[in-house]
Amino acid sequence: MTEAVYILGGYQSDFARVWSREGLDISDMIGDAVRGALEDASLPASDIQSIHVGNAFGELQRGQAHLGSMVAQMVPELWGVPAMRHEGACASSSLAILAAMAEIEAGRYECVLVVGVEELKNLPGDVSSRNQNAAAWQGREDIECRFMWPAAFGLIAAEYGERYGLDRRHLNRIAEINYGNAKRNPRAQTRSWQFEAASFTDDDTKNPTIEAGTRRQDCGQITDGACAIVLASRRFAAEATRKRGDGVPPRILGWGHRNAPLRLRDKLERSRGERFVFPHVRWAIEDAWRRAGISGPDALDGIETHDCFTATEYMAIDHFGLTPPGESWRAVEDGAIEMGGTIPINPSGGLIGCGHPVGATGARMVHDAALQVTGRAGDYQVENARLFGTLNIGGSCGTVASFVIGA
């Protein structure tokens, strides 16, 4: 990386909140997140020199586009600040982060605001589900189903079963771990949800099949939510922390960004004979490691990864190299990914437990990683964490972004 990029502060909304029930909408979510991030960073709005917004489905869910200008609409102190919006399905706010970093690395701006936001609870669940199909190749995925994404990631689970063998007990355990972690997170959507032991089995009543290969508890929870973070150059961060009287803020040490075609079956077919089911996901992770100057997962103290479904996290485990390809089950069985394990995954609860407001998820992961490496994660803090990795994907791994965050 040509220029250090620091995280001066951030804010996550309560992912259990349904804003439309309060007569509010995506605009209010943006205002709440921006003001929360500025307060956390101890910065006046006048210090923000550029704004990047990540959002996937604003037009479909609320009929609202042009979200770059929505920031100044809700926070008038940002009137006149250049802003733009980015879309990459579930990786939308990761793309916003990458664009903000590029501006800082280029020397164009020194203090940049990133906002990830999504409103998904204002419409009936079936409607929101159909709207999210826009992240697939419309009419060309060749997947017969009612719900596209549970079916698509059920196919990924089936692919693992065909290539390596897959025991559903390990997917059920991933769900159980993430819901358990979420109970310690005061902003997680599912923190107060209650389950029975059979909820994490293949019980057709307590954990029914949604689509082939995917049961209810396998699914990440779409929700409303926003997350904002303030990024800064080395010089700006040094001056800001001098004024605040605290230590060096966390830093984005490395990043990776890769893309692949939309259609899931094309990606699966292309990787036959390869070591990894999604080679480009592995490349993105390795790119982040290379830029951060680390050689592998042993350097990390934890991971916030995309678990839109348990199969996604199962895939992430071997793509991060915690196990050889196809042997992710080992890290589930030996407890490595649990709190107190050798490399905890999703201490926040992840998308399954914390919630998945699509356009906010990438920023939320980076924000949580920053909290972890500065000891600010509260009841879900990983002990002595100094280096965290993230993996955020859009669609069926069409867009992939990975970051390494360090203190």
Instruction: Encode pLDDT of 221-273 as tens digits.
Output: 999 999 999 999 999 999 999 999 998 899 999 999 999 999 999 999 999 99
pLDDT at 377: 98
Q: How far apart are CA 153 and CA 219, in angstroms?
A: 9
Q: Which two tokens stand for residue 307?
A: 């678990």
- Report the predicted TM-score, pTM, of the whole model to 2 decimal places: 0.98
Q: Does the pLDDT of residue 129 top 80, yes or no?
A: yes
Q: How far apart are CA 177 and CA 153, in angstroms?
A: 19
pLDDT in tens, 332-341: 999 999 999 9
Contact yes or no for 189/16 (Cβ under 8 A): yes
pLDDT in tens, 77-114: 999 999 999 999 999 999 999 999 999 999 999 999 99
Q: Does the pLDDT of residue 380 top 90, yes or no?
A: yes
Mean pLDDT of the region 313-318 = 98
pLDDT at 1: 72
pLDDT in tens, 36-85: 999 999 999 999 999 999 999 999 999 999 999 999 999 999 999 999 99
Burial of 69 (0-12, 13-18, 19+ CB in 10 A): middle
Helix H, strand E, coil C: the string for the chain is: CCCCEEEEEEEECCCCCCHHHHCCCHHHHHHHHHHHHHHHHCCCHHHCCEEEEECCCHHHHHCCCCHHHHHHHHCHHHCCCCEEEECECECHHHHHHHHHHHHHHHCCCCEEEEEEEECCCCCCHHHHHHHHHHHCCCCCCCCCCCCHHHHHHHHHHHHHHHHCCCCHHHHHHHHHHHHHHHCCCCCCCCCCCCCCHHHHCCCCCCCCEEECCEEHHHECCECCEEEEEEEECHHHHHHHHHHHCCCCCCEEEEEEEEECCCCHHHHHHHCCCCCCCCHHHHHHHHHHHHHHCCCCHHHCCEEEECCCEHHHHHHHHHHCCCCCCCCCHHHHHCCCCCCCCCCCECCCCHHHHCCECHHHHHHHHHHHHHHHHCCCCHHHCCCCCCEEEEEEEECCCCEEEEEEEEC
Q: Which two tokens stand for residue 295?
A: 């050689």
pLDDT at 4: 87
Residues 83-108 as b or e (16 or more Cβ within 10 Å = b): bebbbbbbbbbbbbbbbbbbbbeeee
pLDDT in tens, 136-157: 999 999 999 999 999 999 999 9
Q: How far apart are CA 73 and CA 170, in angstroms?
A: 47
